């Protein structure tokens, strides 16, 4: 179900939608994942924008605060990806009734509300590779088979490198997708769920995690420096973001410096 909401009313209406969604149980979504979310249509300056909205619980304890911090991290990652020339969705943060909402403009819709053709890296791996090892391994095989071009292959390697340097331990093949026209792949779609998932609560508990980034791999040599710089900027922006909790800032305080020896 989509909800039509005016942009300047989101802080009032999104909490109502979140409560409605939760009261009916967490429904399935075209975007896989366990994070609570709903679909909406937001009217901005007379234009109707299809969006996906993730949301935290009312922030009242360490678990709910961590979820809110991670939503902010995802928003920061979107901005950094864009700055470094990679496809990323437009997103914004909204607070209402104690919850934090991450509104993400849908990249699988056109301006008239119709669907764009999308195929996941998972689907391509299952069809042409059959391994589901890593983004880089799958995309290298697809490149060798001429299913994707070299630029797309290197962009995926960059995304995987950046992801592991920001602690994204959930780099599943469903989070990389491609625009397509029938069977023809037309380009890389914005990456989904790019955030430091190593810090996500597990079974409603905060499990201590040590950020220990590994040095570059052979396949990452050509993209390493730029991805490393982007990751350093990410941790710096997270550490200085005004909405990130002090507890999370303490937790990730040394992450940027841990990347320095990897240059």
List active site positions.
170
Give me 205's structure tokens: 């508990």
Rg (CA), the chain: 19
Q: Cα(11)–Cα(98) distance, rounded to whole angstroms? A: 10
Q: Cα(180)–Cα(74) distance, rounded to whole angstroms? A: 25
DSSP 3-state of 94: strand
Give me 251's structure tokens: 């937790």
Kindly report the number of other CB atoms within 10 A of residue 176's CB atom: 24
Residues near 41 by beta carbon (within 8 Å), at least 6 away in sequence = 2, 3, 4, 5, 48, 49, 50, 51, 113
Kindly report the number of other CB atoms within 10 A of residue 119's CB atom: 15
- Could you tell me if 122 and 173 are in contact, meaning their C-beta atoms sit under 8 angstroms apart? yes
């Amino acid at each position: 179900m989509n909800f039509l909401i005016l942009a300047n009313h989101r802080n009032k209406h999104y909490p109502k939608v979140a409560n409605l969604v939760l009261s009916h149980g967490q429904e399935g979504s075209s975007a896989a994942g366990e994070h609570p979310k709903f679909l909406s249509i937001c009217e901005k300056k007379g234009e109707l924008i299809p969006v996906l909205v993730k949301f935290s619980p009312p922030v009242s304890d360490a678990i709910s605060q961590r979820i809110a911090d991670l939503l902010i991290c995802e928003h920061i990652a979107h901005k950094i990806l864009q700055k470094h020339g990679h496809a990323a969705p437009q997103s914004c943060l909204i607070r209402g009734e104690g919850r934090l909402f991450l509104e993400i403009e849908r990249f699988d819709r056109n301006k008239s509300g119709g669907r764009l053709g999308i195929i996941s890296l998972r689907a391509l791996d299952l069809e042409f590779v059959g391994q589901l090892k890593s983004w880089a391994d799958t995309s290298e095989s697809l490149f060798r088979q001429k299913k994707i071009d070299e630029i797309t292959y290197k962009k995926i390697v960059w995304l995987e490198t950046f992801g592991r340097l920001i602690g994204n331990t959930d780099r599943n093949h469903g989070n990389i997708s491609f625009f397509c026209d029938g069977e023809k792949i037309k380009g890389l779609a914005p990456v989904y769920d790019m955030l430091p998932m190593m810090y996500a609560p597990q079974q409603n508990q905060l499990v201590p995690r040590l950020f220990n980034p590994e040095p570059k791999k052979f396949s990452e040599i050509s993209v390493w420096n730029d991805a490393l710089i982007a990751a350093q900027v990410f941790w710096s922006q997270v550490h200085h973001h005004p909405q990130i909790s002090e507890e999370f800032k303490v937790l990730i305080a040394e992450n940027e410096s841990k990347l320095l020896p990897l240059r």
